[in-house]
Structure 1
Amino acid sequence: MTVPPHPAAQPLVTERLVLRPVRSLDVPAVTRLWTDPDVRQHLGGPVIESVVRIRQRRIVGAPGFHAVVRAEDGVLLGLVTVEDGGRGGETEVSYQFLPEHWGRGYAREAVRAAVARALETAPSVVAVTQEANHRSRRLLEAVGLEHAESFVEWDAHQVLYRRRRKAASRPEDLPRGRAAAEPRA
């Protein structure tokens, strides 16, 4: 019996982007994400060299890590991570984009698609950003996540956003199984 791959393992295609597993050729651009001071401004600063080397060996094909590439030319724009059972057991989405691709809606498009895919199987999705990261907060709100709580972690004020899967309300949205609630003919 063949088991179909988990939906998160399948490439995700949007109007302009492809979210796919990280490949060896992506490692230099992904390394830039980890070491760029602008990208890492609200993420605790650039990652130190020894940690970068460890991450470089583990990122290629790693589950939950999605290289975000522009569909038209394959240029790597950023990284979206979907971690099942992350913070508090919920599915957590995080993202980083190279500065030269900021302000064009790529992150919003990619995160919206990743959240929608995650909600196909997860009851909720969370994302955390620093309170001071206003651009990230606007992005999370634009893709339907709502402020759930604030807290201090890593010596910075953080904001947790959450989006829950909508409850099925139409008969075609309800899970298949015994039809106890269906009218009898």
Structure 2
Amino acid sequence: MTSNPELIRTDRLLLRRVGPGDVRSAIAVLSDPGTNRFNPAGSPSAEQAAAMLVEWQAHWARDGIGYWAVELPETGEVIGFGGLRHHELDGEPALNLFYRFRPRHWGRGYAPEMARAAVEWAGPARPDRPVVIITDPDNKPSQRVAEKLGFAHVGDSRTVEGPVLVWRRQEATMVT
């Protein structure tokens, strides 16, 4: 696994640092009501999605990690976004693992593949921060991804949008 998180290749995906050229893809993915089915805040507007992309670029500049554009290498299509960013959860530093994919690419194992690469990178690169996944209580697909990665539901918390489930990586091996 590379020590540079800006570009990571998996078996089927290219994970690359987001940039200004990703604004159309960010709007398409993030504003799609299907990708926000479990988002209590609902779908962001095009302007809000573009602002999220700018925020993600700032995380990269400040922290040296962030969310990737997830591409299919053979076509260059951005099928989603995901990755890690510094987060404070109930007063403790952590790395939040996030993933959001175009609905037409669901069920193909892309989210676990991207997330597995993120977790594998974070272990040696940021051992001082546990990786967590924060899900809506009704988001069963995201919870299944967490379980496949060896995460366990360790508690509940609240965000400004409402209650969430907190998943933390266990020492057990990830399921493939």
Q: TM-score category by the smaller chain?
A: 0.7 to 0.9
**Correspondence for 2:166:** 160
Q: Say if 2:27 and 2:50, in contact at 8 Å, map to a contact too.
A: no
Gaps of 5+ in 1: 1-5, 167-185
**Correspondence for 1:115:** 119
Opposite residue 140 of structure 2, the aligned amino acid is: H
Aligned partners of 2:127 and 2:54: how far apart in 1? Answer: 29
Opposite residue 30 of structure 1, the aligned amino acid is: A
SS in 1 for 2:156: strand
**Correspondence for 1:30:** 26
Q: Say if 1:91 and 1:125, in contact at 8 Å, map to a contact too.
A: yes
Gaps of 5+ in 2: 61-65
> CA 1:32–1:151 in 2, change beyond 3 Å: closer, same or farther?
same
Shift in Å, 1:122: 2.5
Choose from 127, 134, 138 the match for 1:132: 138
In the alignment of these two chains, the number of paired residues is 161
Aligned partners of 1:145 and 1:57: how far apart in 2? Answer: 29
* Normalised TM-score (structure 1): 0.76
**For 1:50-109, what per-residue CA distance to the aligned partner results, in whole angstroms no more than 9, with x for missing partners?**
433433545458511211111222211111131124432111111110111111111110
> CA 1:8–1:84 in 2, change beyond 3 Å: closer, same or farther?
farther
Opposite residue 48 of structure 1, the aligned amino acid is: S
70-79 vs 50-59, which deviates more? Answer: 50-59
Task: Give the greater-gyration-radius structure (CA).
Answer: 1
> CA 1:68–1:149 in 2, change beyond 3 Å: closer, same or farther?
same
> How large is the Cα RMSD of the aligned pairs?
2.4
> CA 1:59–1:157 in 2, change beyond 3 Å: closer, same or farther?
closer
Opposite residue 48 of structure 2, the aligned amino acid is: V
